[in-house]
Amino acid sequence: MLHVDLDQFIAAVEVLRRPELAGRPVIVGGRGDPAERAVVSTASYEARAFGVGSGMPLRVAARKVPDAVILPVDQEAYLAASETVMATLRAQPGATVQVLGWDEAFVGVATEDPEAYARQLQAAVLERTRLHCSVGIGDTLVRAKVATGFGKPAGVFRLTAANWLEVMGGRPTKELWGVGTKVSARLAKLGITTVSRLAASDPQDLVPEFGPRMGPWYAELGRGDGAGVVDDTPWVARGHSRETTFQQDLTEPAQVDEALRELTSQVLEDVAAEGRPVVGLTLKVRYAPFVTKTHARKIPETFDRADVLARALELGAGIEPGRPIRLLGLRAEMAMPEDARMGHTPTRGGW
């Protein structure tokens, strides 16, 4: 199994369109105006050297790198580039491709020399798109995904059961795919601070903290175990979400009501294209200066726009009165195709 990850993808696409930016710190986010409220979508390696990262407020990034070139997000350009990359991967001999996002995919292949195949794949992507990618090789999807980080930029690295603990054992758990800062902190409360300790843990000891499904799964991640097959089944969206960062905080109930109605309308347009009923809603509220809370609710399956709007407004009733709001987001969960046939509703995914 190979994990292919395009290096600084969005920034790289922008540099291809503007060759004069090569070697300069490039930051992409929002409408390209650091005076507005927006966050960094991606940054070139030159900008990352100054501590700029995805999700950072654009104005903070601009202060860190005063001479950076700040560009607006152009989703259509990135989608077009991504589609060309994925088509290139699918055209490789014997490749089974599982797309993970715009800039990454798993590739399954039977080969005696995976490193050589990875180099061949990199060359094909570079020739077709002029974009560089890194490739991780693994005997599970988890190991392949983690291996890619050691290959960046534009390199190849292999992680298997044979060298997993040698490479990863002493590293903090947050470096695992699927273990972020919050989960890592919860593991630390149990005395588990490194990958090797997580790998050696009894899965049942994690159940009180993480539950009967996630506890054993985190122990499995620590060992690098998991799925060993690339699945090219077309991805089906579980939900659609929209969010808006307001240039001026919302302070009046009428403003919040109008913004929530507009968000609901946008989300319903996305959902309508799927042809599946809504089964859950999640409202995301970010109060000034930067405190985020979510309100979620499962609902009976419905195609009724008025019903969805009414339930979204009900969630909005949970917003704390008098607190300035800088961001609102709404996510609509849909019944999955197999769930619709069996009469089940899916569990709520993350934002």
pLDDT at 37: 86
Say whether pLDDT at 349 is over 90. Answer: no
Q: Give the CATH superfamily of 2-7+76-159.
A: Reverse transcriptase/Diguanylate cyclase domain (3.30.70.270)
Task: Tell me: pLDDT of 339 over 70.
Answer: no
pLDDT at residue 273, rounded to an integer = 87
What's the CATH architecture for 10-74? Answer: 3-Layer(aba) Sandwich (3.40)
The rounded distance, in Å, linking the Cα atoms of 246 and 327 is: 6
| Residues 241-276 pLDDT 10s | 999 989 899 999 999 999 999 999 999 999 998 889
What does the pLDDT read at residue 346? 32
Domains of the chain by residue range: 2-7+76-159, 10-74, 168-223, 239-342
pLDDT at 170 over 50: yes
Q: Say which of 20, 104, 220, 258 is annotated catalytic.
A: 104
Decide the pairing of beta strands 96-101 and 104-108: antiparallel
pLDDT of residue 338: 60
Superfamily for the 239-342 domain: DNA polymerase, Y-family, little finger domain (3.30.1490.100)
Between 1.20.1370.20, 1.10.472.10, 3.30.300.10, 1.10.150.20, what CATH number should domain 168-223 receive? 1.10.150.20
pLDDT at 347: 33
The answer to whether residue 104 is catalytic is yes
Backbone angles phi, psi at 198, to 5 degrees: -65, -40
Between residues 161 and 322, the one the model is more confident about = 161
Partner residues linked to 285 by β-bridges? 293, 328
